[in-house]
Structure 1
């Protein structure tokens, strides 16, 4: 559905961009003084998208266009779909990678399940050719996905390899 919404052929992402799937279970213990620690500092996910299931404890925040952090109310009957850096590259900027973070809760533990969809690290990725034109040049050069991961991690940690 996303490929078609972008104007790409049906199944575009099946051609080497969805080779890896990783499931991550994250547990954030309660912290009596949440100002002392982050659950996860601000970052963008490197892959195509993240599909996240939250329990009923608040903590996920997105950086909005007004320059503020917006809390995402948890709904145990729904998933949060987060656009990753790779989807921003492939869509040539039509879709923006979502900067987000997790804050701790003073009284309750929080657990999430995240499914990350991405290509193999040695796959070269770039903007979809069908989205490019003289009026819409590429926003970036093709890059090996492993290098994109390193760039996203370096932006998150401030540490470069």
Structure 2
């Protein structure tokens, strides 16, 4: 869709932001020709400039069990085709996202109430955090993070302490 304005080589990254734009950072080529890069670029895909309406939604349950049915409330009655997508929130390095995945779960709507079916198992969707989007005619709403598959590693079992803030859902 577009080229970056800076040479992006070793240790460069591109990630999808919750608003649908793409953040591009880094480059540490160590080749004597290209300097270490500290500038950041943001790419706005053309569909975000569309005259079609951008959907809005709310989801209360952000901790999904495999195969569960999740209720999503749209901001307005849809005027086009509604889809849902999940982007795995994975770590990456050297321009590669290890375990990156995009899933399109089943979704059905009646008026402004939609039901999304969570992925069926850890083999399709390893436990972890995902960016959840509702799309109307290919235009994404601003996404939200959801957790799928619980917390099998018990990473959320932080010890009590008064000198730090415990994370929560």
Same fold (TM over 0.5): no
Structure with max Cα Rg = 2
Structure with greater proportional strand content:
2
Which has the bigger relative contact order, CA under 8 A and spacing at least 6? 1
